[in-house]
Structure 1
Amino acid sequence: MTDDKKITVTRTIDASAADIFEVLSLPARHVELDGSGFVQSVDHGDRITATGQKFTMNMSGDHMGGDYQTDNHVTGYDKDHLLAWETAPAGTEPPGWQWVWELVPQGPDSTEVRHTYDWSKVTDKELLKKVSFPLVKESDLEDTLGKLASAVTGS
């Protein structure tokens, strides 16, 4: 589903919510999951265990002139059900876009995974002139779900 300020993709993965959450909550795994190609490596990131945590990623993209870092501020955490964070250029406060993962068990070994990229809270007019949202396409998010499925099922 896409609207003018948010993209959500959904996929049912043949794995438990706990197994999927185990992968998502470890920032070091995000490189292998990223369908956009922007994420290069984790700079600092312990396992996510609560809201208020921050993890830093090494990124690369033409929209930022090459290599850069992001600080990701965890805003949503419900073990095995929800992970969310707002992203900002390293050392700055989040300007209003966030990533949300929602896990809905469909049985012991099946989980509906919803992944949302939401930039609806971006209000900085200069940023909106500089950055053409969405930076990440729906197909990139779908690729991310495919990579997540492979990471947790081994296929």
Structure 2
Amino acid sequence: MDRIVSASREIAAAPEVIFELIADPAQQPRWDGNDNLTEAAGGQRMHAVGDVFRTLIYTGDYRENHIVEFEEGRRIAWLPSEEGKQPPGHLWRWEIEPAGPGRSKVTHTYDWTQLTEEKRLVRARATTADKLAASIERLAALSEGA
């Protein structure tokens, strides 16, 4: 089984518009195609590697998300973890490339090559390219024409 899954699509919105929806955790429940997130408090906008944001997931538990890659307007990736624990090894990445005036190519990747916790493997296997594509579709709907 492939442990790196991704989806890409061109969106009729500038990279900075799309990036802002991703880098502001309070916006993430609006576009989460995995239907995993229920809310995130405002005021957590990401700015650099080392930042941590907190989200409430569908189980009622909170997750701390550790930023491990960051390039403003272009790339952001995080490792989620249970509160106060080390990340178990799965990574969410967003890459945004300019694709002409007011257009962007968006790639969303889920990488669970380092995930070893047995209890998380079932959900990891269920995170398919179509779920990643659903997040991109929702981002497109929120950002196109913005």
User: TM-score normalised to the size of structure 1?
Assistant: 0.86
2:32 to 31, 34, 41: 34
The structure with higher relative contact order (CA 8 Å, sep 6+) is: 2
For the pair 1:136 / 2:134, whether they are aligned, the reply is: no
Summarize the Cα distance change of 1:129–1:20 in structure 2 as closer, same or farther, 3 Å threshold: closer
Give 1:23's aligned residue.
21
CA contact (8 A) 1:44 1:56 kept: no
For the pair 1:81 / 2:87, whether they are aligned, the reply is: no
1:137 to partner: Cα distance: 2.5
CA contact (8 A) 2:25 2:41 kept: no
CA contact (8 A) 1:44 1:57 kept: no
1:36 to partner: Cα distance: 1.1
Structure 2 segments unaligned to the other structure (5+ residues): none
Q: Does 39-48 or 70-79 show the bigger shift?
A: 39-48
Deviations 1:23-52 (A, max 9, x none): 111000000010111100014751111110
The percent identity for this pair of structures is 29
CA contact (8 A) 2:89 2:113 kept: yes
1:110 to 97, 103, 115: 103
CA contact (8 A) 1:36 1:141 kept: yes
The list of structure 1 runs, each at least 4 consecutive aligned residues, that deviate by more than 4 angstroms after superposition, is none
> When you count strand as a share of all residues, which structure comes out higher?
1
Deviations 1:87-136 (A, max 9, x none): 1112211010010000111112111000001100113xxx2255313242
For the pair 1:14 / 2:12, whether they are aligned, the reply is: yes
- 2:85 partner amino acid: T
Partner-residue secondary structure (3-state), 1:23? helix
CA contact (8 A) 1:45 1:56 kept: no
- 2:29 partner amino acid: V
Summarize the Cα distance change of 1:108–1:6 in structure 2 as closer, same or farther, 3 Å threshold: same
For the pair 1:56 / 2:46, whether they are aligned, the reply is: no
Give 1:119's aligned residue.
112
Distance 2:100 2:93 in 1: 22
Distance 1:57 1:43 in 2: 7
CA contact (8 A) 2:98 2:105 kept: yes
Query: What is the number of equivalent residue pairs in this alignment?
Result: 145
